[in-house]
Amino acid sequence: MPSNNIFNLGFWEKLPKPFFALAPMADVTDLAFRQMFVRYGKPDVMFTEFVSTDGLCSAGRDNLLKDLRYFENERPIVAQIWGTKPENFTRAVKILKKLKFDGVDINMGCPKPKEIKNGACAALIRNPKLALKIIAETKRAAGTMPVSIKTRIGFKEIQTESWIGKLLKTQPAAITIHCRTAAEMSKVPARWEEIARAVKIRNKLNSRTLIVGNGDVATLEEGKKRAAETGADGVMVGRGAFGNPWFFDRNASLGEIGMSEKLNAMLEHAHLFEKLFKGKKNFAVMKKHFKAYAAGFPGARELRVKLMATENVENVERAVNNFKI
């Protein structure tokens, strides 16, 4: 079995510079959401919703597998996992290898209170000993499948030098850095100067690990500018892609997308969600997407109110058709 110290870039080595990634987001980046980007403007790499390693190692595993479903046209596709037990990362990675993912990503950045209370995700920044053990076990189990990490610049205080320095020494294929602390969540502007600092730390260590910046990127052009300014190898986009499956299309921008196109895409997304997840996921998941699609045009607020009351795709169609009259 390969050593956990082996450096393996895998598909990451073939990506353009700067590359763009669609961020892993719970109850957001499901199969329907990702397929909208395949259709309208595919990013260079996609991530699944983050999935619990404990859950994948439990009797409820089959219920979680829907969150790991993907289509071949999404490659390269990376599965993101989270937890606190190194042995469960090993077991989870074996499942991901059977599912033939292109890579595995360790969530060390989510700041949600529930995960923090359990000592997982961003809480691992406060427990580097456990974090490093998790990375080592994940790499050992992954073999030739590249392992990446998504994290933040610190827990309560900025710790870029010490924390990212520790992670770089484990030789992951890539480190995505959300440039806020866990305590800041998304309440302050993203600190992109810390991405530049991480790149300098990486270069000083003569590491080949790719540095990916994340936070407050609203357009593709802004992402390119951030990469150029900081030296980041890639940019990950989360909230900026909501309601905008055209985000990664280099020939389009949200400003050029009309109301009808937005609403037609919203209906397409709703139909796709129901087709893929009827009886498996609550249709209410779509409402956060409706808020994003129904914005930026006259009457959008009134339409959003009606969309919040919908319970199925037929309700959505009726609301949109009545709005267009």
Asked if pLDDT for residue 186 goes beyond 80, the answer is yes
Question: What's the pLDDT band for 167 if we cut at 50, 70, 90?
Answer: very high
Containing 197, the helix (H) or strand (E) segment is helix 193-204
Asked if pLDDT for residue 170 goes beyond 80, the answer is yes
How much is the pTM? 0.94
Asked if pLDDT for residue 111 goes beyond 80, the answer is yes
Containing 128, the helix (H) or strand (E) segment is helix 128-142
Virtual torsion, Cα 15, 144, 46, 97, nearest 10 deg: 160
Domain 11-241 of CATH type 3.40.50.2000: no
Asked if pLDDT for residue 132 goes beyond 50, the answer is yes
Asked if pLDDT for residue 297 goes beyond 80, the answer is yes
Question: What's the pLDDT band for 6 if we cut at 50, 70, 90?
Answer: low
Question: What's the pLDDT band for 63 if we cut at 50, 70, 90?
Answer: confident
Catalytic residue among 57, 110, 121, 179: 110
**What pLDDT, on a 0 to 100 scale, did the predictor assign at position 4?**
47
Task: Report the mean per-residue pLDDT for the chain.
Answer: 94
Instruction: Give the DSSP per-residue string, 239-291.
Output: GGGTT-TTTT-TT--GGG--HHHHHHHHHHHHHHHHHHHTTTS-GGGGHHHHH
Q: Which residue has the higher pLDDT, 252 or 166?
A: 166
Mean predicted confidence (pLDDT) in 144-153: 98
Q: How many CB atoms lie under 10 A from the CB of residue 260?
A: 11
The residue extents of the domains of the chain are: 11-241, 258-324
Give me the percent of the chain exceeding a pLDDT of 90: 90
- Is 179 labeled as catalytic in the residue annotation? no
